[in-house]
Every structure is written in C-alpha cells, then in structure tokens.
Chain A
Amino acid sequence: MTAPASIPAMPLPRLIAAYFSDAKYESLRLFRTPAFSIPILAMPILFYTVFGVLMADGRTPTALANLTFVDWTVYGVMGPGLFGFGILVAVERNQGLLTFKRALPMPTGSYLSAKLAMAFVFAIAVMAMVAVLGVTAGHVVMPLARLVTIAAVMSLGVFPACAIGLFIGAWAPASSASAFANITYLGMAFLSGLFFHLPPAVAAFQPIWPTYHLAQLALASAGMHSQGSPLVHAAILAATTAGLILLAARRLSRAG
C-alpha cells in the first residue's frame, strides 16, 4: 500500500454514499439488537392488540376504531426516535464512540442523520404493522388514500421524537438515559390522552405534549374529528423540535 502524497478531495458521490452507509449500518445494528428492536417494534403492536383488537368488536363505532388506530400509531412512531437518540447518544458519549467518530473524517451531521434515518425506517415498519393489524382485526375502515395521508403526516412525528431523544441523550448520564426515555415516552403517551380519555383537569394540560399535537394533526389531515388548528399543531411541533435540538447541540458541543 502506498500512502498518497497529498490528500485527495472527496468526490461528491462518495460523500453521499457515506451518509447512506452510516444510515444503513445504524439501522442494521439496531435491528440486530433485541434490547432495542423488540420494545420499539413489539410494544406498540402489543398495546394496539389489547386496546384496538381485543377490546373492540363488531359493534365498535368505526370512528372510535379509527381514533384508537391513530392514537396507537402516534405512540409507535415516537418510539424509535426517542429511544434511538435518547439511549444511544448517552451511551455512545460514555463509551467513547462519539469521540472516535468525531476524530474520523465522518461527514458533518452524518452521525445524527444516520440515527434520523434509522428512526424513519423503524417508524415506517411500526406504522405498517399497526395498519395491517388495524384493517384486518381492529375494525378500522378507511380508504387507502387516507391511510397513506395519515402515515405521511405521522412520519413528521419522527422529528420531534428524535429531538426529545437527542435532548435526553445529550443531558442524561448513560446509566439513567434509558429510564428518562421510558418515563418520557410513557408519561407523554398517558398525559396526552393517547391511551384513554383523561379527566378534564388533566386533559387541560394535553397541549404540553408533542404526542397530542401529532395526533390532532393526523386526525385533521384525515378529515376526522380533531381539536385546534392544524397549523398551530404543526408550528408547535416544529418549535419543540428546533428548541430541543438547540439545547442538545449546546451540550454536545461543550461536552463532546
């Protein structure tokens, strides 16, 4: 092997390929890690089976069946980003992997974009599974076009989920990041009314949670009954995402 006399420039196709390669290996390794893939993929399916399939029957109104489906899809879509970033960033900071990656000529932002891509891959997988279950056994009745619209809008939920996860991953110690991610995930789902109707005193605080806004946005986009203005929901989700990323970036640039 001969060392180059000078460092060649990075051809653009190779640079783009590097982003794809990082995304591929990030998804692959998490798919092979049962501690991650099972809760992310199985939990929403399990919950939806209990609440959407076993507790429903032929007399369940379609509107309710569809609502249950949307709520549990929101839950499923938020998981990969929240856990993928929340736990992994904290652990990888702790294990020196992040430092190693920063020493390598890894393209700018590839570490995060790979995790974002992974979150999309897993989120789409969860949505597909919940949708198949809903249509075949959950008494969900809606045209395919509407299903696709809901899925597309839901995908936007990956961004705030990743931002929340990144915030946890940047600030929490590796040993407790998993606990923080779990509490946030379950707490957010409960308190935003995804699991069941909340008493009015608690329901008043639903708009704090991104899951609430995502669910309302999905319902509105599908022409189903929703609360508030879709534009406001979208703006709140975008602002939450941006704010949390900024806070996380501050921490990561300081602590590495």
Chain B
Amino acid sequence: MTVGGDGADAALARLSGVEKRYGAIVALDGLDLDVRSGELLAVLGPNGAGKSTAIALMLGLQRPDRGEVLLFGRSPHDLAARRGVGVMMQEVMLADALTVREHIAMTQAYYPAPLTLAEAIALADVEKIAGRPYLKLSGGQKRQAQFALAICGRPRLLFLDEPTTGLDLNARETMWATLRGLVAAGTSVVLTTHYIEEAEALADRVVVMAKGRRIAEGTVEEVRAIAVRKRIGCATTIAPAEMERWPGVVAVSAEDGRTSITAIDAESVVRRLLADPGLADLEVRRAGLSEAFAELTQERAQ
C-alpha cells in the first residue's frame, strides 16, 4: 500500500473550514489552509494566532470541532499518512538519558525508508553532539537534535514549529541551508515563525494568521510591505480625516488628544506634520509584526 501519490490536486495537507475551540477561546475560526507539493510555506502571526493549533490538527494531535483535515488525502490519524511526515514541535522534552544518536535511531525505526543514521547526523549537522546524552545539551543543541529527529525519516512533508528559536546565528544559517537543500530535493515544509527574516530567507509562500483566521497570503515581498509600516504618534491640530488623504498613510486614529498614524512613507508624513505649529510629542517607530498584523486584521474586518 502506498499513499500520497501526486494527483492533479496536490495538496499534501489541507484544512477546510476548520473551527477549533478551547472552552470559550476560539483558536481557529473557519481556517482554510493548503500545503502544496514542493513548497516551503511559512505561517506567520503573533502569539495566539492559531499557528500551532493548525499544525496540531494536521498532525492528528487534535480533532477539529468543525471542518475537515486531510494529510496526504487521508485522516491524519492514519498511521500510513503520518509516515510521510517529520515533526519539530515547540515544547518537547526528550528522554534525558539517551544520546542524540540513540534518539535518532529510535525515531528512524518508525519510518518505512529513512535516511541512514550517518546521513541523518550529517544532514542535521549534529556530529559533534551525537554521542552526548540529551540532558547535557544546551537549549540550541536540543533544537538541533530535534531537527535531526524531524528529518531522519526522509519525510515528504516537514512540520517545523518555530525551529530556530534559541539557536545561535551559525546554527540558524546551517539549518536554513539544510532546509533549502531539502526543498530543492522535493520535500515540502510548513514552518511557523515570528521572524519575518526567516520567512524572507526561506519561504516560497507566506500565510499570515491572526485570531484563528488567515488574514493575508502571498509572497514574502507582499507580506514584507505590511511589516515595514511605521507608526507615528503625536498631538496635532490637523484633522484625522485630512491626514487620511495624505500619500503613504494607511490608517489614522485619534484618542485622548493623541493621534496615531500608520504609514508606509513615514518621512513625507512627518514633513507635513511639522508644518503644524501645534505639533507636540512627535514619535516615530517601526510597527512590529504583531502590530502590523493586528492592523491588517482590523482592515479586513472593516
């Protein structure tokens, strides 16, 4: 029996209209998400956006309250489907007393046609720590070991939940290079991250999530344009309605005598503001990703 042969419709994993609640909290609110063959898909979004829940559903760790989840066209609870998947989760403590090499050997045994032990160790760049017990590893080395476990089964689809958190620069670059190699060789990857830089370095496609929904989707450049917005705060006598007509202004809000302007071209907005003799408390800063996402959510809601 083989599964996951490429049909015309080559979504390796798919969430359709998925809702997931934890008590009163809505984690996923009618999410549609496809993972296509051969792509590296980055899922971006602030904490609590539902990224990890989306992955947990695709791995069969949780069941949706509504909607459909497919992995290689099957239920993710089907062992045969999961044999095509490698996983790196955010929080996992592996057995302390086993070495990295032993962990890899134990994980490889679950897969039908894994890499050899030596191949997995080399590919994940863990030669130096292979003989060490998991207990003796630093935080970054643990992430590297977990990465080795994710790729050792020669999976067709890799799920990486914030894989480079806690890694030093060198290790991060190495992991990125390995991922590029894997994608070039035909592996598909779903990567969640807080870092736009990581998506920029790797992703073919980016999905932005907030509050359990997909709020944007596109190339890295398209999403980047959202993230480079600046936030200008000041007290001014100029009416918000007027400022909204200025070029480069995305949104204006005024509250308690303080005006907040979101702009793509902050410099030209500031030049105009300086013409106002009543201007006070001028502040310009780059909108963080989460802020940019929050605004995007509001824009979509309007």
Contacts and interface: CB of A to CB of B under 8 A. Distances in A.
Q: Do A and B belong to a common assembly?
A: yes
Interface of A: 1-11, 14, 17-18, 21-22, 25, 28-30, 32-33, 95-97, 99-100, 102-108, 256
The A interface, classified by DSSP as helix, strand, loop or mixed, is: loop
Given A105-B82, A105-B85, A4 B109 contact: no
A9 B80 contact: yes
B182 A3 contact: yes
A1 B154 contact: yes
Nearest to A1: B185
Contacts of A102: 60-61
A25 B121 CA distance: 18
A96 B87 contact: no
A33 B96 contact: yes
Contacts of A21: 105-106, 109
B110 interface: yes
Given A25-B95, A103-B82, 15 more contacts: A1-B115, A1-B154, A1-B187, A3-B185, A4-B84, A7-B2, A7-B84, A9-B2, A10-B112, A11-B112, A14-B112, A97-B94, A99-B89, A105-B85, A108-B79
A106 B187 CA distance: 21
Contacts of B92: 95-97, 99-100
Nearest to A108: B79
B91 interface: yes
Contacts of A105: 79, 82-83, 85, 110-111, 153
B266 interface: no
B105 A5 contact: no
Contacts of A14: 109, 112
Interface in B22-81: 59-61, 72, 79-81
Nearest to A36: B97
Interface in B103-124: 105-107, 109-113, 115, 119, 123
A1 B93 contact: no
A97 B181 CA distance: 28
A4 B113 contact: yes
B186 interface: yes
A108 B96 CA distance: 24
B110 A18 contact: yes
A106 B87 CA distance: 12
Contacts of B98: 25, 28-29, 32
Contacts of B83: 7-8, 10, 105
Contacts of B80: 7, 9-10
B233 interface: no
Contacts of B72: 7
B156 interface: yes
Interface stretch (B3-11, B223-231, B277-285): B3-11
Contacts of B94: 97, 100
12 contacts: A1-B181, A3-B156, A6-B2, A7-B83, A8-B2, A10-B112, A32-B97, A97-B94, A103-B159, A104-B110, A105-B111, A106-B110
Interface in B180-219: 181-182, 185-188
Q: Which of A99, A107, A108, A256 has the most CB of B within 10 A?
A: A99
Interface residues of B, number: 51
B93 A97 contact: yes
A3 B155 contact: yes
Contacts of A10: 80, 83, 111-112
Given A3-B186, A96-B91, A96-B92, A104 B107 contact: yes
Nearest to A99: B61
A194 to B, nearest CB: 31
B5 A6 contact: yes
A113 to B, nearest CB: 13
A96 B56 CA distance: 12
Contacts of B186: 2-3, 5
B291 interface: no
Contact of B6 (A6, A33, A100, A107): A6
A124 B105 CA distance: 26
Nearest to B102: A25
A161 to B, nearest CB: 21
B301 interface: no
A2 B184 CA distance: 9
Contacts of A96: 89, 91-93
Given A1-B123, A7-B112, A95-B93, A100 B87 contact: yes
B1 A9 contact: yes
Nearest to B115: A1
A202 B147 CA distance: 56
Nearest to B38: A3
A33 B97 contact: yes
Interface in B279-296: none
A6 B72 CA distance: 9
A106 B79 CA distance: 8
A29 B97 contact: yes
Contact of A2 (B89, B133, B185): B185
